Amino acid sequence: MSTTPLAVLTETTFEVSNEKNHRTLRECIATAMDDYFHHLDGHEPENLYNMVLREMEEPLLRAVLDYTRSNQSRAAIMLGLNRGTLRKKMKQYNLD
């Protein structure tokens, strides 16, 4: 595994339990960030906020679009975005 901060974030895998103990999204993110910092191997991340947002935004958009069966109006409402912003983000991530 590469040890650059972005590579650590994008290459870290997380084991998902099949148990019925469900964790909140907040707990999953906290665990992911703890694992990320643990694997940095002494490197200092830069622009961490934007890096994390970039990594989670595409899967979030994809999941909401899948859930709404690509209904952009419903997806925009669910995300709290206006439809134009959603379309811009979809284009950014090649989701259109």
Domains of the chain: which residue ranges?
A: 1-46, 48-96
| Mean pLDDT of the chain, nearest integer | 87
Superfamily of domain 48-96: Homeodomain-like (1.10.10.60)
Q: Which residue has the tokens 């972005």?
A: 6
* Mean pLDDT score, 48-76: 96
The answer to which of 10-14, 40-44, 85-89 has the lowest mean pLDDT is 10-14
Q: What is the pLDDT of residue 25?
A: 87
CA-to-CA distance for 51 and 53, rounded, in angstroms? 6
Q: What is the pLDDT of residue 41?
A: 87
Structure pTM?
0.71
Q: What is the pLDDT of residue 62?
A: 98
* Confidence band of 92 (pLDDT split at 50, 70, 90): very high
Q: Which residue has the tokens 């909401």?
A: 64
